[in-house]
Amino acid sequence: MWQSILFNLIQVAVVVGLAPLVEGVLHRMEENVQSKRGPSIFQVYRDLWKLLQKDEIVSGESSWIFRAAPYVAFVMPIFVTLLIPVLTRYPLFFAFMGDMLAAGFLLALGGFFVALAAVDAANPYGAMGASRTRMVGFLAEPVFMMVFFTVSFTAGSTIPYIVQASWSAVPGGFLEPVHILVILAFLMLILADESRIPVDNPSGQFELAMIGKSKYLEYSGRGAALIKWAGCMKLVVLTCVLCNVLVTPWGLAAEHTLAAVLLAIPLVLFKILIFLLVLVIIESSLAKLRLFRISEFLSAAFVICLLAMVTRLMGS
Amino acid sequence: MINLFTEPLDAFCGGFFLLTAIGIVSTRQILACLRLFVIQALLLVAAALLIGVKLSSGDLVAVAVITFVTKVVAIPWVLKLSAGSEIYAQREIDQVLNIPLALLISAALVLFSYFVATPMVTAVGQPFTDINLPIGLAGLVLGAFTVTVRREAMAQLIGLLVMENGVFFASISIVPHLPVIAEISAAIDVPVMSLIIGLLIRRIHKRTGSTVVSELATLRED
Amino acid sequence: MLAAVLILPLLAALLVLLPIGHRGRWPALVTVLTNAILLALALAIAAHVLYAGAFHEWNRSLSIDAFGALLLLLVTFLGFTTAIFSWGYIVERRVGATRTDKVRLYYTLYHLFILSMVAVPLIAHVALVWIAVEMTTLMSAFLVAYEDTPASLEAAWKYVVLTSMGAILGLLGVLILYWATRVAGDVPFTWAGLVTGAPHMPKTLLWTGFLLILVGFGTKVGLVPLHTWLPDAHSQAPSPVCALLSGVETSTALFVILRLFPVLQAAPLVADPRPWFIAIGLVSVGAAAFLLLQIRDYKRMFAFSTVEHMGIIMVAVGLGGMPAHLAAMYQLTAHALTKSFCFFAAGTTLAATGTQEVGAVHGLIHRAPLAGTALLLGGLAIAGAPPFVVFISEFSIFRAGLANGQYLSIALLALFVAVAFCALTFHINRIVFGRAEDSPVHAIPKPCLAALVIAAIPMLILGLYLPGPLAALFRAAAATLGH
């Protein structure tokens, strides 16, 4: 049992510690694709360090929500990390505390607090960003539910570890239409949830066009650092769900030894790197959608997921 | 090895086949529609090869070759030749319905095709029909839906071609030994259809200055 | 002999492209001669079938029975009269552009169109029959668009897209039937093979295949509600093309559907197809009859009448029993002969007055007596007035239905036919009689008159007297529809 808890803690440490690196690599790759040199892959660590040193300025008009939101946002991905397979293919200590629905709920709770805080600060851009994020959230919700239903129908369970085992058990199951369609729908969901192209432009600096970023405009110092870090972790957590549970359920530690778990770290990082490559390809080949076309994007995701369900339920 | 993975790989082709059909329903650019169609034809070729090798059916390999020649090579070329500038127009094309609604209806249509196909699959129980028949039927129905909701002539033609692809995707599983003479004739039929419709599009374009065929509505009961 | 029927139009299609003669007389002459030979061949084939039974050629890949021979006879007869009419309408009158190469293109497509239609009853393999039916659409697309007006292009577009959609649905139906023959054992995929194999076929395959073919080819036949393209194409095409489209092209598609009737009856577990045929037929007849009341274009009027007649044939087949099937064959023949005459008359009227609108023509019989008389005869004949052939055929359908005791179907059919009769005679009356205007009338080309006379002969004679061999052919054809 203690070993299980230890591995769980290693898992959390990996996600917390390496999340800024993943974000840095992503930035670097994006810039490279655009034929620029780009910042160092460790730039995000430096940014976080600098922000943590600085004083924090909080509006006197804002309530406790504004101050609590960064901490809530920071903690939620860590909770989720306890539930999902990051390094091991066998369930760890906290694995049965909650299922995929709980993980989605925890992430959504963090997002909810940040949105509240954006309204709380009374900055007009914050409220606008919050309402747009909610719009995307409303549209993404049915897709999330469909993914959840389809996965649970296929695997007979909603615990991420069990789902992962069911995909990797049958060699044929991996190529089934339902699997491919669910992966695609979940990928589209990540793009929407992470405010990436084609839903939002993460590198844009124009407040009126922002969806995700304008919620954090009021934060400074430690609050800004925590929210930025939380964003990195959320990306890593979602990537882990996609890579480890849905796409490639291989390369994870199978044995209950420390060496196997440590060996899984580079393998998982390699998988995440490949995912980042896909992300960069998507981001550099698509244009941002107009705000009212986001519904079309997410309805496409919804229908793809519906098809996955249909092929699964009717097909066999 | 290949034998073990034939069925999953065929299913894999089927999943993407369905996706391309959905994509053709919802894409706004003509050029993208045509590309999706070519990808779909390639998936059809792959599935025909897989099933052909598995069932050692020379007819299906011939089908794969014919499909490749006609749908991947000849049809894009014929369309370029006959309707030239039209395909390469980069403008966005309109739909009668908005895209989310069209997508939802497509999903319902796919469900419908499964309902139609399942009794046939269970009645006979032939290998591959459980994947190819419903998905092929879905391709057929989605193609018909594309023809109905698109206003642009070229998009309607692509819809017809998707219907044809759907039929062939189903047929490679249900009748793996159709005489090649029938396949060849069908293969001639498809480029001829594209050529004639392409030429008609050109005439309409020349005569009315537009290819939005839904605006051609002078003939009707009143 | 069967192969010659396929090769001849193909040769002629190339022959008309030769740059011989001037003003397009060469292609017109070649076409009339070719179609005369085709008609003679068809008569010989029909005689052979009648006295020696169904026969095959080319290793059984071509084969024909009585029903096929009847259809072949109709196609070639209409091909012949239409060839004469085209000489007047296309070559001498010069519809649309005046360029000779356009006339040559017309005749090339004409031969290919005839080829695709004669191929339908000749080809044995059902999958190849499908291709022949699809080719009838593709080869006639530019004939419909011949006049190159926006309206004709619109009609051609609807025609090609909707009937191709139908054809692709039909293709899946054909393939499912092929699948069924494989499951039933190694029966050949021909019409006869389907009938023998039907008892062993899985019920769902047979029924799904039939429904797909019904919807798919029903689009081409013009069954309501799949008829929307038909009035457009059949009114915007040049009149000789309309005669072929309405007279026999619809019948070739109907031929495929009717061929499945005995197959379904031979399968014991499948639902009885007869009520379906009656219901679909009645819907078509009823809708067409009421739509006929509101038309404004007299070619459109004849087009709707085609929808009506296709429905009547479906009902006749659905009634079941030898007398009803015999009546169906009679009706098929009567419709082809009469409808081609009607479109010749409509074309002559159009040539004389220059308008297709019902309201724009009055007192035609005073202004252009020949066109007026033809339109009057055609209108009365297609509406079903005695002593024309349609009257006899419809009467025999009613009699067969009453003998079967299907009173409701017959009552509805009689009601709809009566409505259609009133609508047709009302519109014809408006055009033909009334006060004549003084607007100028164009001369009618002589070949058009010749075609009218030739087309009128069987329309009149068959109403009064049915020659023995033809009656025998009808009986043999009706027998192919099963018990």
> What pLDDT digit, counting tens, does each position of A259-307 carry?
888 999 999 999 999 999 999 998 888 888 888 888 889 999 999 999 8
Residue C185: count other Cβ atoms within 10 Å of its Cβ.
10
| Residues B71/B165, Cβ–Cβ less than 8 Å | yes
Question: pLDDT digit string (tens) for A157-194?
Answer: 888 888 888 777 666 667 778 888 899 999 999 998 88
Q: Do chains C and A touch (3 or more CB pairs under 8 A)?
A: no
Residue C289: in which H helix or E strand, if any? Answer: helix C274-292
Q: Do A171 and B107 touch (CB under 8 A)?
A: no
Quick one: chain C helix, strand, coil %, rounded to 5?
80, 0, 20
> Whole domain around residue B31: which residue ranges?
2-215
| Residues B216/B204, Cβ–Cβ less than 8 Å | yes
What SS3 state is found at B52? helix
Residue C57: in which H helix or E strand, if any? Answer: strand C55-57
Q: Do B182 and C205 touch (CB under 8 A)?
A: no
| Angle made by CA atoms A63, A64, A69, in degrees to the nearest 5 | 115
- At residue A290, the pLDDT reads 82
Closest chain A residue to B25 measured between Cα atoms?
Answer: A300
What SS3 state is found at A205? coil
Over residues C384-398, mean pLDDT: 92
Q: Do B185 and C160 touch (CB under 8 A)?
A: no
Over residues C394-402, mean pLDDT: 94
Over residues C395-411, mean pLDDT: 94
Q: Count up the domains in chain C and report the number.
A: 1
For the ranges A94-103, B97-106, C465-474, the lowest mean pLDDT is seen at A94-103
Q: Count up the domains in chain B and report the number.
A: 1
Establish if B203 touches chain C: CB-CB under 8 angstroms: yes
Could you tell me if residue B222 is inside a domain? no
Q: Which of residues 280-319 of C touch B (CB under 8 A)?
A: 291, 294-295
Q: Do C156 and B181 touch (CB under 8 A)?
A: no
Selected residue with higher pLDDT from B22 and A97: B22
Establish if B209 touches chain A: CB-CB under 8 angstroms: no
What's the mean pLDDT when you consider all of chain C?
A: 91
Q: Looking at this protein, which amino acid is placed at residue C211?
A: L
What's the mean pLDDT when you consider all of chain B?
A: 86
Q: For chain A, which ranges sit under pLDDT 50?
A: none
Q: What are phi and psi of C361, to 5 degrees?
A: -115, 130
- At residue C1, the pLDDT reads 83
A85: left (phi over 0), alpha (psi -120 to 50) or beta: beta
Question: pLDDT digit string (tens) for C163-208?
Answer: 999 999 999 999 999 999 988 888 889 999 999 999 999 989 999 9
Give the number of residues written for chain A: 316
- Residue C50: pLDDT over 80: yes
> Whole domain around residue C221: which residue ranges?
2-479
| Residues B9/B126, Cβ–Cβ less than 8 Å | no
Nearest residue to C218 (alpha-carbon basis) of C273, C163, C260: C163
Find out whether the peptide bond into C387 is cis, omega within 30 degrees of 0.
yes
- Residue C465: pLDDT over 80: yes
What is the rounded distance in angstroms from the CA atom of residue B142 to the CA atom of residue C364?
A: 50
Closest chain A residue to B128 measured between Cα atoms?
Answer: A315
Instruction: Report the residue from C156, C203, C205 with minimal CB separation from B200.
Output: C156
- At residue C38, the pLDDT reads 96
- Report the share of chain C in percent with pLDDT over 90: 73
Q: Which residue has the tokens 């009469």?
A: C338
In chain B, residues with a C-beta closer than 8 Å to the C-beta of A316 are 130
- At residue C287, the pLDDT reads 95
